[in-house]
Amino acid sequence: MGNKRHSLTEQLYAACRIVVESHSGDIAIAPSLVAQLAMKNLDKLNSAPAVVSWGCTLQCRHAAREILRKQFDPTADDFQEGDAHGHPIFPNLQLRYPTKRGVRGDPEYVLLEQLTDGERALNVSQMRSRGQRLLDHAAALEAWQPVGIAKNG
């Protein structure tokens, strides 16, 4: 049962990835939109019972959040920096950044060129804050020495 479950989950993620890729030129991509479009592709005849459709849509929205976060949220723990999502002229920048434009608490991932000054400033602030927290944590770990244990090289 575990392998079948894994395979079904991968099918949901694949359906969401297809939607994300097919909407790569859109100004903004939201997990809720990705989930709705993925469901339309998965249940073309709209034949699933409402409760099944709703449950699958929620799972697709979860998958879409994860896919988009990993690609476009540099403050996320599971962010996967890579050339595929980078800006062609400025390699340290991404093509999209998260914004608070979304509904239901979901961010929308907006093209870099379409960010407002406030959205850009918020992303910069979040990245600096996360970076500072990591530096503070690294300094504390470096300074930590268990009581009664001698330092060794």
**pLDDT tens readout for residues 88-146:** 777 778 888 999 876 667 889 999 999 999 999 999 999 999 899 989 999 999 998 78
Q: What is the pLDDT of residue 1?
A: 59
pLDDT digits 0-9 by tens, 22-31? 998 999 999 9
Average pLDDT over residues 42-67: 94
Distance CA 108, CA 34 (A): 11
Overall pTM surpassing 0.85 (yes/no) = no
Q: What is the pLDDT of residue 103?
A: 66
pLDDT class of 16 with cuts at 50, 70, 90: very high
| Helix-helix angle 2-22:50-72, to 10 degrees | 70
pLDDT class of 149 with cuts at 50, 70, 90: low
Q: What is the 3-state secondary structure (H, E, C) of the chain?
A: CHHHHHHHHHHHHHHHHHHHHHCCCCCEECHHHHHHHHHHHHCCCCCCCHHHHHHHHHHHHHHHHHHHHHHHCCCCCCCCCCHHHECCCCCCCECEEEECCCCCCCCEEEEHHHCCHHHHHHHHHHHHHHHHHHHHHHHHHHHCCCCCCCCCC
Q: Does 152 have pLDDT greater than 70?
A: no
Domain locations in the chain?
A: 2-143
The amino acid that residue 44 corresponds to is: K
pLDDT digits 0-9 by tens, 69-103? 888 887 777 777 654 556 677 777 888 899 987 66
Q: What is the pLDDT of residue 101?
A: 77
